[in-house]
Amino acid sequence: MAVLAESGSNPDVELLYDINGLAKDAPHGFDRVMEFVGEYGLLLAMVLMVLWCWWSVRRRADEDAASSVAALVWAPLAAGLAVLVNVPIRGFVARPRPFNDHQGLDVLVSGKTDFSFVSDHATITMALGVGMFVANRRFGIAGIALALLEGFCRVYMGVHYPTDVIGGFALGTAVALLLSPPAMALLTPVMKAVERSPRAGWIVRSRRAPGERRDALVPGARKPVESEERDLAA
């Protein structure tokens, strides 16, 4: 309680101590799991989810396949751009990590010497989640949920304030949504051109949609027998 008193009435610091305090009460093994999940695991999960979403939208083989794949291409590009935008923001705000200004935190990851605002992990995961939402709402909702979990983990680990995470969410969402129209205007024609390519078309559209007959996809294929008999009868 003395530590909380030092923070005054700052709800950001109080929430930091409340969430990070869970790490002190948790078993050591659970903290190690949270350390891996918050530092690497959720980022890897987001990448795998983007690949899963790509596999799903291309197998639909509908008219929106090119735009959906373009949205998925934009998702990692938006995440990378958001991190670049964060570089001058971090330097301008120059907010120290919470464990540098506040005592009694249980810091699960060492070696963090850069500034705290805003969180790169929160920025990347939210940009990927919002980018997936543009392509596929079901995957996007799941991705945004993972991004929220990533933000919780960063505070739990004692390396970010809650407002660092909220700022990362806002930055990732803003870049992914506000720049989506021009990005889609550029990427969608590219994906349509790739779709028409005989060699690279599989990137955008599955060669055979689920449940579709194979002979219907073979260029120059003869009509089915039943159709030929009807033509002759006519």
Model-level pTM?
Answer: 0.81
Q: Does the pLDDT at position 124 exceed 70?
A: yes
Q: What is the pLDDT of residues 211-220, one digit of tens each?
A: 444 333 333 4
Q: ∠209-51-108 over CA atoms, to 5°?
A: 155
Place of tokens 């205007």: 185
50-64, 103-117, 198-212: least confidently modelled range: 198-212
State the average pLDDT over residues 94-112: 87
Percentage, residues of the chain above pLDDT 70: 83
Q: What is the pLDDT of residues 134-155, one digit of tens each?
A: 888 999 999 999 999 999 999 9
Look at 180 and 207; give whichever has higher pLDDT.
Answer: 180
9-23, 47-61, 216-230: least confidently modelled range: 216-230
- Whole-angstrom Cα distance, residue 72 to residue 127? 11
Q: How many CB atoms lie within 10 A of CB 191?
A: 22
Q: Does the pLDDT at position 66 exceed 60?
A: yes
- Per the CB < 8 A criterion, the answer to whether 72 and 204 are in contact is no
Which pLDDT score, from 0 to 100, does residue 197 have?
84
Distances (CA, A) of 166 to 40, 68, 120, 123, 160: 19, 28, 11, 9, 10
Out of 85-94, 106-115, 190-199, give the one with best mean pLDDT. 85-94
Please state, rounded to an integer, the average pLDDT across all residues of the chain: 83
Q: Does the pLDDT at position 2 exceed 80?
A: no
State the average pLDDT over residues 87-97: 92
Q: How many CB atoms lie within 10 A of CB 218?
A: 10
